[in-house]
Amino acid sequence: MRRRLALPLAAAALALPAVLTAAGPAGAAPADKPQVLSSWTQTSASSYNAWLAARNNQGAWSAYGFDWSTDYCSTSPDNPLGFPFKLSCARHDFGYRNYKAAGTFSANKARLDSALYADLKRVCANYSGATKAACDSTAWTYYHAVDIFGSAPALNGSQPVG
């Protein structure tokens, strides 16, 4: 019983301090917004899991004014060759949009792109053999696309890649 409760309780414990932080003046984001944003955009699985838990409970984070919008994998397939990259792309979009809004995108872009690649590799870890090799190759291609073209206007000129 303890083992089954440990993970949900640990996730709640990570999120609780930020939820309890006072928002300050009306309309102002909590002072720890940069720390929360940073904690949700690291390369680790725990960072991804904390971001996903918050994404699934956005109302609890409304005082922070995060931009949760996403176009998933932009002009690339969200599930290339059947590999479920959609949520990894959504977290990447979250990082790009919120660091751009904070004016600190350039200082964080490389880490955001690395976090995408780490997320994609975790997806690929669920496969084996030739299927895993195909997934890893596709993940590498997606990573290099955002590494090179991320934040540049997409081909249609309307949305940035990333």
Give the active site residues: 92
Residue labelled with tokens 């964080």: 108
Cβ(45)–Cβ(55) under 8 Å?
A: no
Q: 54-71 burial string, b = 16+ CB within 10 Å, else e?
A: bbeeeeebebbebeeebb
Cβ(139)–Cβ(124) under 8 Å?
A: yes
Q: Alpha carbon of 78 to those of 21, 86, 89, 125, 154: distances in Å?
A: 35, 5, 8, 18, 16
Q: 134-146 burial string, b = 16+ CB within 10 Å, else e?
A: bbbebbeebbebb
